[in-house]
Chain A
Amino acid sequence: EAQVTQNPRYLITVTGKKLTVTCSQNMNHEYMSWYRQDPGLGLRQIYYSMNVEVTDKGDVPEGYKVSRKEKRNFPLILESPSPNQTSLYFCASSFSQGNGELFFGEGSRLTVL
């Protein structure tokens, strides 16, 4: 089954404790992206990757890091989480950036105390 898998789905952590949200897709997609979703603000892009070893900042990259060492994986790293990073996070992938359907994971709800 074609899917985007994120882990963990839910996480409560404390300020400053490094964490990683993993994302994996099994569709051989070149393009992958991370979004955060906050009430009234819609989806805001954090980082995206056009292909392996190619990553770029989205609209709200501060406080986040990513890597794309393999085509299927695109982890999101919060080196020192802060309460303003409490949000619902989505990983998404598509065949390419220019066209096509974005496939989303089920989301990771992160709470930073």
Chain B
Amino acid sequence: TQLLEQSPQFLSIQEGENLTVYCNSSSVFSSLQWYRQEPGEGPVLLVTVVTGGEVKKLKRLTFQFGDARKDSSLHITAAQPGDTGLYLCAGRWEMDSNYQLIWGAGTKLIIKP
């Protein structure tokens, strides 16, 4: 069974602070995706990282894929209340030309004004 451990599970911080969310596994992924889910809605894709060591930026959000493609991080600079939501990572794992998407349990982020 492939596992993707996400930490922290819950984070509540003040507006303007920085934070980092981590996704770790012992498995090697062909790619890793980050999704954000707001209450009453389904997850929405933020980014896909494919290459080991890859860094992608989305405004104040910085995503990094580990060199060995086993882990990833999401860093938010100067968090805003609009960043509040559930952040999910999902690693794409390939076996015998079949792909499986392995999900982390999520990080619930609350940004207080």
Residue ranges of A at the interface with B (Cβ–Cβ < 8 Å): 4, 40-45, 90, 92, 97-99, 101-102, 104-107
In angstroms, how far is the closest chain A Cβ from the Cβ of B98?
A: 8
Which B residues between 5 and 56 are near A, CB-CB below 8 angstroms? 6, 9, 31, 33, 35, 40-45, 48
Q: Which residues of B contact A107 (CB under 8 A)?
A: 40-42
Instruction: Summarize A's interface: helix, strand, loop or mixed.
Output: loop
B residues neighboring A (CB under 8 Å): 6, 9, 31, 33, 35, 40-45, 48, 88, 90, 92, 94, 98-99, 101, 103-106
**Docked CA distance A90–B90 (Å):** 15
Contact B44 A104 (CB under 8 A): yes
Partner of B88, one of A43, A44, A92: A43
Complex Cα–Cα for A104 and B88 (A): 13
Q: Which of A45, A90, A97, A101 contacts B42 (CB 8 A)?
A: A90
List, in ascending order, chain A residues with CB within 8 A of B94's CB.
98
Q: Which of the residues A4, A101, A106 comes within 8 Å of B40, measured between beta carbons?
A: A106
Contact of B101 among A4, A40, A102, A104 (CB under 8 A): A102
Asked if A40 contacts B42 (CB within 8 A), the reply is no
Query: Is B99 touching A97 in the complex (CB atoms < 8 A)?
Result: yes
Given the complex, which residues of A lie within 8 Å of B43, measured CB to CB? 43, 90, 102, 104
Q: Which of B40, B41, B99, B103 is A42 in contact with, Cβ under 8 Å?
A: B103
The CA of A9 and the CA of B9, in the complex, are separated in Å by 26
Please report the C-alpha to C-alpha distance between residue A92 and residue B94 in the assembled complex, in whole angstroms: 19
User: What's the minimum C-beta distance from A110 to chain B, rounded to whole angstroms?
Assistant: 15
Q: Indicate if the CB atoms of A105 and B105 lie closer than 8 Å.
A: no
Which A residues touch B92, using CB under 8 A? 98-99
